[in-house]
Amino acid sequence: MNRRSASLLVLLGVLLGAAAPFLLPSAVWAQTSRAAPRKEVPPPAPPPPPAYEYTFVKRESPDEDLVELQRLGGEGWRVVSTVVVDGSTRRYVLMRDRRAEPTPH
């Protein structure tokens, strides 16, 4: 084979390679190309349930209770119940969302 026919053969191969995407149907390319296996992505985890902290305040007098409950309300506490302890001592039960612990430095 002489040099000229070898060059024509190479040129023909390059042209066929360049024209192949247009000449072959896309179904053939889909069968020949290997798709990377898909990794199953787990669904996102649900958010954790809210955490609460509780405290109580012994009831004294209406004026003192109002001042104390207003102060605690400013800190995020809210009254959720009143209870009687030992038959005579009354208390307010307060609740608030648990706050994140400060990170140590």
Strands 89-97 and 78-85 turn out to be antiparallel
Tens of pLDDT along the chain (105 residues) come to: 677 777 767 766 766 676 666 665 665 555 555 666 778 888 899 888 888 998 888 888 889 999 999 999 999 999 999 888 888 888 999 999 887 665 555
- What integer pLDDT is reported at residue 41 of this predicted model? 87
- What integer pLDDT is reported at residue 105 of this predicted model? 54
Give 51's Cβ-side CA count (13 Å radius). 6
- What integer pLDDT is reported at residue 73 of this predicted model? 92
Claim: this prediction has a pTM higher than 0.85 = no
Q: How far apart are CA 46 and CA 38, in angstroms?
A: 23
